Amino acid sequence: MTELKENLKRQIVEQLNLKDVKPEEIGDDQPLFVEGLGLDSIDALELIVLLQQHYGIRLAKAEDGPIVFRSVNTMAEYIEANKK
């Protein structure tokens, strides 16, 4: 799980072009949107692409997005629960 979270942080920084953020600076439970990393709606779409591209997981229900993408912890839990 720790390795998965580290990979996720690196992939988030790369995929979203967060050039002023280092992967190790992202807390496991830090909110990704608004007050946390300050991601926006386009970033949310990029995170959906990230899940498909790196983990082969399609977000089944769009309304799950805010829960799944709340933090690195919630993303990692979703990947663990849905990996093939």
Partner 1 sequence: MHLAVTHYCRISGNCIYKDGQQLFEAKDRTFDQFSEDAYRHFHLNYPKFHKMDNLSKLGLLASDILLKNNKLEHTIRPEQIGVILSNQSSSLDTDVKYAGMVKSGVASPAVFVYSLPNIVIGEICIRNGIKGENTFFISDRYDIPSQVNYINRLFENEVFDACIGGWLELMGERYEAFLYLAMKAEKQQLPHTVETIKKLYQNL
Looking at beta carbons only, is 48 or 77 nearer to partner 1?
48
How many angstroms separate the CA atoms of 63 and 28, rounded? 22
| Strand partners of residue 33 | 39
Residues 41-70 that bind partner 1 (CB under 8 A): 42-43, 45-46, 49, 52-53
Min dist. Cβ of residue 22 to partner 1 (A): 13
| Strand partners of residue 72 | none
List interacting residues with partner 1 (CB under 8 A): 16-20, 38, 42-43, 45-46, 49, 52-53
